[in-house]
Chains A and B, each alone.
Chain A
Amino acid sequence: MMHAQQIALIGNPNTGKTSLFNSLTGSYEYVGNWSGVTVEKKVGIIKKQLGELIDLPGIYTISPISKDEGVVTDFLLQDSFTDILNIVDASQLKRNLQLTVQLLELGKPMVIGLNMTDVAKLRGIKIDYQCLSSSLGIPVMPIVARTGKGCKDLINYFKENEKKTIHPLTLDYGPVVESAIGRITSLLTAYNVQHKRWMALQILEGNNRILSQIKGFSHLQELEQICSQTESELLNKNIAQTLQQHIHHIREAYIDSLLNSSVSISKQSMPTLTDQVDRIVTHKLLGIPIFLGLMFLMFMLTFDWLGFPLSDLLDAFFTGPLTDAIESFLQVIGASAFIEALVLNGIVSGVGGVLVFIPQIFILFFFLSLLEDSGYMARVAVVMDRLMEGIGLNGKAFIPLIIGFGCNVPGVMAARTIEQPKERMLTIMLTPFMSCSARLPVYALFVGAFFAKYQALVVLSLYLLGIFVALIVAKVMSSTTYKNEKSLFIMELPPYRLPQVRTLWRSTWEKGKGFIRKAGTYIFGGSVLIWFLSYAGPSGFAVDMNDSFLALIGGLIAPILIPLGFGTWQAAASLLTGFLAKEVVVATMSIIYFVPEAQLQGFMVEQFSPLSAYGFMVFVLLYVPCLATVAVIKKESHSKKWMFLSIAYGLSIAYILVLIIYQVGKLVGLA
């Protein structure tokens, strides 16, 4: 359905943009509190079906530095939208209005949502909304997006929104720049483009994204000449050092005149809570130990203290009452033996074997959301920067890696906020080594069978191994392929905000539901297929599993895996299916070893030793990114080469490392 209004939501990072998006659309959106968490264009339907709201990445100015910021330039010139909703942080007006001025220069219908008016009031900032609104010539609505205050008024505004034409704001940038603008606009008349003055200004500011939006542009040389001439003229006349600075100053003068008439500040500064917390979490000596301690706490809660008992309960329910109930139901309706085997041995054990990990996965996602929403994640980036610099990356790259613990796909996408192309590519390639939640079921199955006493420790060792391998790969790649590019780091640290229960639950659910959806689609389909392959063989149906198609396929690969200690067709077949999604490894094993829970461990002990079980887990950790991750790597790197590379080196690192672990382990008598 096409809506009458398409409203673009634009604002600086950390201004509560995503909170506002959620309040206005009532949809389940993902909320973040570190610069650039909104890495994709998201669309929601405004309450009362008033129109579409388009969430864009947070930017300080239109002219992009990192990749996600370029999205906004493209959007403003390409996509059709009727209105702009500019969210502005009332406590940071001066900086926020820089973007507002650029949007006003475009001349699209616009309304300002003045957010965090409560924070501004606390800091003694008094704003005359009426005055600000009449000087800007557009409506200004005070809101508090976190609590939803004032959002009703915004919705009402869009309800009664009558279209009126808006004239672009025109500032006088002084004779030097104005003449350059004139020359560029006359160049642009040769092309069929709108907003020529705006484009000219953006080009002068260094927004090279503009040019890619003009079809068949051929005046690149003239443009570069105009820009460099103007810049040197500014320098010679002692007006400004760079074009960017000059344009920034003119806008700032305009903003100052606005604020003089509409804002009064009663100055009072006292150490905020953020300062006090920062003193501890970024402490000289305690910073890294505190971070590691928090991670340890997160793992213990997820695997040992809380997650494991809950999973056990769920498992008891699936294998006990649920299976019995389905079995008697199938008997009542008189299902054939084939259907009964399909449902009980295929679907219930395959899908159920994965679903029992829901508690663990939700607990993990809850903590990741807590880290993001509170603002601590940005501090982690600062604390880890020194270490990351050593391997040719910066602290910001650590955030996609942590997100990768939840799922590699958003991790790879979050790399967009990294400014340097080299560091971005590296981060993308490293993320698959982060042990995502889909690998958890595999570990849980094996540690339950072989390392019952040291579950959390063994799992923690796998997570650390993943990080360790990633760091080594980064070091090798940054000192070979990319040795000429310098690593950079700059990061805004937003104030801490106490996450609200509602927001936390929303983002946990948003991430976790993907897991449940996968169980209903991929894993369901995969389970049926795998069960069928194990049920049928060259000689017909209901064959012994060792004569099935699955055994045949697995048997082809198994010899390669013998040096690794798990050269059985069962292991080979599960690894093969794990490419679909890592959870499928468990679904496959549950089907292959279809035996009551009590016997499963005995069964696995026949096939694996503790050493080869550990090797198998390491292999699953590293071997190939899942299908979804491979697809997103290709999309983000725009190259098949990198995609195949990520598969190839994953496989070879996994093979070599597990070979070493198994062979050395055998030598020292661990087998």
Chain B
Amino acid sequence: MNLTELAQGEKAHVRDFSAVSKIVQRRLVQLGVKENEEICLKRKLPFGGPCMIETCGLCISIRLDEAMRIEVRK
């Protein structure tokens, strides 16, 4: 399943995020996102807006289409 399929406030572990576009991927790595790391979907904004995720005690916002490319497992 991908990150956006989680319920709001639900936690999961990152399985694979190599499909995310290169620049965003690099930034995510810098911010501490990596495989097997716990990730929480905090909020999705309306009208297909960006979503807010939390990982390693840090809140990050990315677009919905990028979040869909992050595979997670519960």
Interface residues of A (CB under 8 A from B): 60-61, 65, 91-92, 94-95, 98, 123, 206, 241, 244-245, 248, 274-275, 278-279, 282, 284-285, 287, 381-383, 385-386, 389, 395, 419-420, 486, 488-493, 495
Interface residues of B (CB under 8 A from A): 18, 21, 23-24, 26-32, 34, 42-43, 45-50, 52, 56-63, 66
A22 to B47 alpha-carbon distance, docked (Å): 42
Beta-carbon contact of B32 and A493 below 8 Å: no
Residue of A at shortest CB range from B64? A386
Beta-carbon contact of A245 and B29 below 8 Å: yes
Beta-carbon contact of B23 and A383 below 8 Å: no
Residue of B at shortest CB range from A495? B59
A91 to B21 alpha-carbon distance, docked (Å): 29
A420 to B52 alpha-carbon distance, docked (Å): 21
* Residue picked from B21, B29, B42, B60, most chain A C-beta under 10 Å: B29
Residues in A neighbouring B30, C-beta threshold 8 A: 60-61, 95, 98
Residue of B at shortest CB range from A394? B63
Residue of A at shortest CB range from B21? A488
The total number of A-B Cβ pairs within 8 Å is 97
> A287-B45, A382-B61, A488-B23 are contacts. A278–B52 as well, Cβ < 8 Å?
yes
Of the residues B24, B26, B32, B62, contact of A94 by C-beta under 8 Å: B32
B53 CB to closest chain A CB (Å) equals 10
Residue of B at shortest CB range from A287? B45
Residue of B at shortest CB range from A386? B49
Residues in A neighbouring B66, C-beta threshold 8 A: 490
Beta-carbon contact of A492 and B62 below 8 Å: no
Beta-carbon contact of B59 and A493 below 8 Å: yes
A206 to B45 alpha-carbon distance, docked (Å): 34
18 extra interchain contacts, Cβ-Cβ under 8 A, other than A95-B31, A278-B52, A490-B61? Answer: A60-B27, A91-B57, A123-B57, A206-B26, A287-B45, A382-B52, A385-B49, A385-B63, A386-B45, A395-B50, A420-B23, A486-B21, A488-B21, A489-B62, A490-B23, A491-B61, A493-B52, A495-B59
Of the residues B29, B45, B48, contact of A248 by C-beta under 8 Å: B29
A454 to B63 alpha-carbon distance, docked (Å): 40
Beta-carbon contact of B29 and A491 below 8 Å: no
Beta-carbon contact of B45 and A282 below 8 Å: yes
A206 to B30 alpha-carbon distance, docked (Å): 13
A241 CB to closest chain B CB (Å) equals 6
Beta-carbon contact of A65 and B58 below 8 Å: no
Residues in B neighbouring A91, C-beta threshold 8 A: 57
Beta-carbon contact of B62 and A490 below 8 Å: yes
Beta-carbon contact of B27 and A65 below 8 Å: yes
> A285-B46, A386-B47 are contacts. A95–B23 as well, Cβ < 8 Å?
no
